[in-house]
Amino acid sequence: MSAVNINKNNFRSEVMDSDKPVLLDFWAPWCGPCRMVVPIVEEIARERSDIKVGKVNVDEEPELAGQFGVMSIPTLVVMKDGKIVNQAMGARPKSAILGML
């Protein structure tokens, strides 16, 4: 499965009400480090059916970015049962992202 685009309209159903842990990637198309992380996040989404992967474009969803206190991108957030359990800023290798889960 590929990563789901998350916005304020589907946030509750896709993230808060998810029965799986959710990896959120806060990104923007103009962000170089974000472009390095996108293929890794997509790969994780395809390989791991036990988690849900979502992408939040901070330019299109500034309210969601603010809600999570995102100050720099990329920011990766892991949520379980509607709560933040892990968060990291900056580009990370696949092993580090998997380690967050």
Residues annotated as catalytic (active site), given as ranges: 31, 34
Gap between the Cα atoms of 37 and 92, Å rounded:
7
CA dihedral sign, ordered 61, 69, 76, 45: negative
Gap between the Cα atoms of 17 and 97, Å rounded:
22
